[in-house]
Protein backbone atom coordinates (compact mmCIF):
# COMPACT_ATOMS: atom_id res chain seq x y z
CA UNK A 1 0.00 0.00 0.00
CA UNK A 2 2.83 2.40 0.86
CA UNK A 3 4.45 1.75 -2.53
CA UNK A 4 1.14 2.51 -4.25
CA UNK A 5 0.90 5.83 -2.35
CA UNK A 6 4.47 6.71 -3.37
CA UNK A 7 3.80 5.90 -7.01
CA UNK A 8 0.50 7.83 -6.96
CA UNK A 9 2.24 10.77 -5.28
CA UNK A 10 5.03 10.67 -7.85
CA UNK A 11 2.61 10.71 -10.79
CA UNK A 12 0.54 13.46 -9.18
CA UNK A 13 3.67 15.58 -8.73
CA UNK A 14 4.82 14.84 -12.27
CA UNK A 15 1.40 15.73 -13.63
CA UNK A 16 1.41 19.01 -11.71
CA UNK A 17 4.89 19.92 -12.99
CA UNK A 18 3.91 19.12 -16.58
CA UNK A 19 0.69 21.14 -16.26
CA UNK A 20 2.54 24.13 -14.82
CA UNK A 21 5.28 23.92 -17.47
CA UNK A 22 2.74 23.70 -20.27
CA UNK A 23 0.61 26.56 -18.98
CA UNK A 24 3.66 28.78 -18.43
CA UNK A 25 5.04 28.05 -21.90
CA UNK A 26 1.70 29.03 -23.47
CA UNK A 27 2.04 32.51 -22.01
CA UNK A 28 5.44 33.36 -23.46
CA UNK A 29 6.59 36.93 -23.72
CA UNK A 30 5.80 38.16 -27.27
CA UNK A 31 9.24 39.76 -27.55
CA UNK A 32 10.96 36.53 -26.53
CA UNK A 33 8.88 34.57 -29.04
CA UNK A 34 9.97 36.90 -31.85
CA UNK A 35 13.61 36.66 -30.76
CA UNK A 36 13.42 32.85 -30.69
CA UNK A 37 11.89 32.69 -34.17
CA UNK A 38 14.61 35.01 -35.48
CA UNK A 39 17.29 32.91 -33.82
CA UNK A 40 16.05 29.84 -35.70
CA UNK A 41 15.44 31.53 -39.06
CA UNK A 42 18.39 33.92 -39.36
CA UNK A 43 22.15 33.56 -39.34
CA UNK A 44 24.23 35.12 -36.54
CA UNK A 45 24.89 38.40 -38.41
CA UNK A 46 21.24 38.81 -39.39
CA UNK A 47 20.13 37.91 -35.87
CA UNK A 48 21.97 40.88 -34.33
CA UNK A 49 20.19 43.27 -36.70
CA UNK A 50 16.92 41.50 -35.95
CA UNK A 51 17.42 42.13 -32.22
CA UNK A 52 17.67 45.86 -32.90
CA UNK A 53 14.44 45.83 -34.89
CA UNK A 54 12.63 43.73 -32.28
CA UNK A 55 13.74 46.14 -29.53
CA UNK A 56 12.71 49.19 -31.55
CA UNK A 57 9.34 47.69 -32.46
CA UNK A 58 8.64 46.67 -28.87
CA UNK A 59 9.57 50.15 -27.64
CA UNK A 60 7.31 51.79 -30.19
CA UNK A 61 4.43 49.49 -29.23
CA UNK A 62 4.82 50.56 -25.61
CA UNK A 63 4.95 54.26 -26.44
CA UNK A 64 1.86 53.97 -28.62
CA UNK A 65 -0.17 52.10 -25.98
CA UNK A 66 0.96 54.40 -23.16
CA UNK A 67 0.23 57.46 -25.29
CA UNK A 68 -3.23 56.20 -26.28
CA UNK A 69 -3.98 56.01 -22.58
CA UNK A 70 -2.47 59.44 -21.87
CA UNK A 71 -4.40 61.08 -24.69
CA UNK A 72 -7.58 60.03 -22.87
CA UNK A 73 -6.49 60.39 -19.23
CA UNK A 74 -3.98 63.22 -18.96
CA UNK A 75 -5.16 66.19 -16.95
CA UNK A 76 -3.17 68.94 -18.68
CA UNK A 77 -3.44 70.13 -22.26
CA UNK A 78 0.34 70.03 -22.58
CA UNK A 79 0.54 66.32 -21.75
CA UNK A 80 -2.44 65.51 -23.99
CA UNK A 81 -0.64 67.35 -26.80
CA UNK A 82 2.57 65.34 -26.19
CA UNK A 83 0.57 62.09 -26.11
CA UNK A 84 -1.15 62.92 -29.41
CA UNK A 85 2.19 63.81 -31.00
CA UNK A 86 3.68 60.52 -29.71
CA UNK A 87 0.80 58.55 -31.22
CA UNK A 88 1.34 60.11 -34.63
CA UNK A 89 5.15 59.99 -34.61
CA UNK A 90 5.52 56.49 -33.19
CA UNK A 91 2.73 55.23 -35.43
CA UNK A 92 4.90 56.27 -38.39
CA UNK A 93 8.05 54.86 -36.77
CA UNK A 94 6.44 51.48 -36.19
CA UNK A 95 5.46 51.30 -39.87
CA UNK A 96 9.08 52.06 -40.83
CA UNK A 97 10.31 49.24 -38.57
CA UNK A 98 7.68 46.86 -40.00
CA UNK A 99 8.76 47.64 -43.56
CA UNK A 100 12.44 47.21 -42.78
CA UNK A 101 11.79 44.00 -40.85
CA UNK A 102 9.82 42.60 -43.80
CA UNK A 103 12.79 43.15 -46.13
CA UNK A 104 15.02 41.26 -43.68
CA UNK A 105 12.55 38.41 -42.91
CA UNK A 106 12.58 39.51 -39.25
CA UNK A 107 9.73 38.41 -36.98
CA UNK A 108 8.45 41.18 -34.69
CA UNK A 109 6.56 40.96 -31.37
CA UNK A 110 2.79 40.71 -31.61
CA UNK A 111 2.02 42.53 -28.36
CA UNK A 112 3.40 44.25 -25.28
CA UNK A 113 5.58 42.35 -22.82
CA UNK A 114 4.29 41.71 -19.30
CA UNK A 115 6.78 44.27 -18.00
CA UNK A 116 5.43 46.89 -20.41
CA UNK A 117 1.85 46.13 -19.36
CA UNK A 118 2.84 46.54 -15.71
CA UNK A 119 4.50 49.87 -16.48
CA UNK A 120 1.29 51.13 -18.08
CA UNK A 121 -0.77 49.82 -15.16
CA UNK A 122 1.48 51.70 -12.71
CA UNK A 123 0.88 54.91 -14.64
CA UNK A 124 -2.88 54.37 -14.85
CA UNK A 125 -3.12 53.84 -11.09
CA UNK A 126 -2.45 57.55 -10.74
CA UNK A 127 -4.83 60.41 -11.46
CA UNK A 128 -4.64 64.10 -12.25
CA UNK A 129 -1.24 65.76 -12.24
CA UNK A 130 0.33 62.64 -10.69
CA UNK A 131 -0.77 60.69 -13.77
CA UNK A 132 0.73 63.33 -16.07
CA UNK A 133 4.03 63.29 -14.19
CA UNK A 134 4.23 59.49 -14.22
CA UNK A 135 3.50 59.31 -17.96
CA UNK A 136 6.05 62.01 -18.80
CA UNK A 137 8.67 60.43 -16.55
CA UNK A 138 8.22 57.04 -18.25
CA UNK A 139 8.34 58.65 -21.70
CA UNK A 140 11.58 60.38 -20.74
CA UNK A 141 13.12 57.08 -19.61
CA UNK A 142 11.97 55.25 -22.73
CA UNK A 143 13.21 57.98 -25.08
CA UNK A 144 16.59 58.10 -23.35
CA UNK A 145 16.87 54.33 -23.77
CA UNK A 146 15.73 54.49 -27.41
CA UNK A 147 18.16 57.28 -28.26
CA UNK A 148 21.02 55.37 -26.67
CA UNK A 149 20.06 52.26 -28.65
CA UNK A 150 19.77 54.19 -31.93
CA UNK A 151 23.15 55.87 -31.42
CA UNK A 152 24.75 52.50 -30.72
CA UNK A 153 23.18 51.02 -33.86
CA UNK A 154 24.30 54.05 -35.88
CA UNK A 155 27.88 53.52 -34.75
CA UNK A 156 28.24 49.75 -34.66
CA UNK A 157 25.62 47.95 -36.74
CA UNK A 158 27.00 45.94 -39.66
CA UNK A 159 23.71 45.98 -41.59
CA UNK A 160 23.72 49.11 -43.77
CA UNK A 161 19.91 49.34 -44.00
CA UNK A 162 19.38 49.07 -40.25
CA UNK A 163 22.23 51.52 -39.63
CA UNK A 164 20.66 54.04 -42.07
CA UNK A 165 17.25 53.61 -40.40
CA UNK A 166 18.80 54.29 -36.96
CA UNK A 167 20.64 57.36 -38.25
CA UNK A 168 17.40 58.69 -39.76
CA UNK A 169 15.33 57.98 -36.64
CA UNK A 170 17.70 59.22 -33.91
CA UNK A 171 17.20 62.97 -34.53
CA UNK A 172 13.41 62.63 -34.24
CA UNK A 173 13.68 60.64 -31.01
CA UNK A 174 16.10 63.27 -29.70
CA UNK A 175 13.59 66.02 -30.53
CA UNK A 176 10.87 64.08 -28.68
CA UNK A 177 13.16 63.76 -25.68
CA UNK A 178 13.73 67.52 -25.56
CA UNK A 179 9.96 68.19 -25.70
CA UNK A 180 9.39 65.63 -22.95
CA UNK A 181 12.09 67.18 -20.75
CA UNK A 182 10.54 70.64 -21.23
CA UNK A 183 7.12 69.26 -20.29
CA UNK A 184 8.59 67.50 -17.26
CA UNK A 185 10.10 70.80 -16.14
CA UNK A 186 6.75 72.59 -16.59
CA UNK A 187 4.99 69.93 -14.48
CA UNK A 188 7.60 69.84 -11.74
CA UNK A 189 5.97 72.39 -9.40
CA UNK A 190 2.35 71.53 -10.20
CA UNK A 191 0.29 69.70 -7.59
Q: How many residues does the chain have?
A: 191
Q: Within a domain: residue 1?
A: no
What CA–CA distance (Å, rounded) separates 45 from 175? 31
Our count of domains for the chain comes to 1
Q: Within a domain: residue 6?
A: no
Would you say 140 and 181 are in contact if contact means Cβ atoms under 8 Å apart? yes
Which residues make Cβ contacts (< 8 Å) with residue 19, sequence separation at least 6? none
Q: Within a domain: residue 19?
A: no
Q: Within a domain: residue 40?
A: yes
43 φψ region: left (φ > 0), alpha (ψ -120 to 50), beta (else): beta
Which domain CATH number covers 182? 1.20.1260.10
Q: Within a domain: residue 129?
A: yes
> Considering the entire predicted model, what is its pTM?
0.82
Q: Within a domain: residue 15?
A: no
Tell me the residue range of the domain where 51 lies. 29-187
Q: Within a domain: residue 83?
A: yes
pLDDT digits (tens, 9 = 90+) for 48-100: 899 999 999 999 999 999 999 999 999 999 999 999 999 999 999 999 999 99
What CA–CA distance (Å, rounded) separates 74 from 35? 34
pLDDT digits (tens, 9 = 90+) for 7-45: 333 333 333 333 333 334 457 899 999 999 989 888 888
Cα four-point dihedral sign 62, 84, 154, 148:
negative
Amino acid sequence: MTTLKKITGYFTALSLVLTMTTSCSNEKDPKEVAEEVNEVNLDKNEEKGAEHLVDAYSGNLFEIKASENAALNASTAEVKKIATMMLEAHGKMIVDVEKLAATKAVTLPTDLTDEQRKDIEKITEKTGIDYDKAYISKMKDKHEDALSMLNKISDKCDDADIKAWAQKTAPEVSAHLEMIKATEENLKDKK
